Amino acid sequence: MLPLFAALTVAVTAADHWTTYLCLRAPVEGWQVTEGNPLASWLFSSIGLLPGIAFDSAVTLCALFFLVTTDLLPRLPKLAILGFIMLWTSWAVFNNLAAIHALGFSVLGTGS
């Protein structure tokens, strides 16, 4: 179950990063699209959107690797942490998808 939760967490995180990129990659006339996470917003404004997403992805993968492989936590708390991360990140993806729909974008990154 732990490897499944870890894989699902990676998938949901990838969806979050992709939908965040689609929402923030360029200004949209008539809309003010912003990052809802203050830490991510600071990161993106400090080093740029793509480097920020890449950095966030690397940190996330390292943290997941540590969580899955460490003996410092029993299995149940690990599953609970991954479950929480999946739910929280899924909410971000849901909001990003709503924004993508409202903006008339494609989730494939095509169109305007």
The total number of residues written for the chain in this structure? 112
Domain that holds residue 22: 2-103
- The verdict on residue 59 lying in a domain is yes
- What pLDDT is stored for residue 111 in this prediction? 62
pTM greater than 0.95: no
At 85 the pLDDT is 97
How many structural domains are present in the chain?
Answer: 1
For residue 72, the surrounding DSSP H or E stretch is: none
Give residue-wise pLDDT tens across range 55-82.
999 999 999 999 999 999 999 999 999 9
**Within a domain: 110:** no
Q: What is the mean pLDDT of the chain?
A: 95
63, part of any domain: yes
Residues 61-70: contacts with CB within 8 Å, 24+ apart?
A: 61/10, 64/6, 64/9, 64/10, 67/6, 68/2, 68/3, 68/6
**Quick check: is 109 in a domain?**
no
Any domain includes 108: no
Distant-in-sequence, close-in-space partners of 7: CB < 8 Å, separation ≥ 6: none
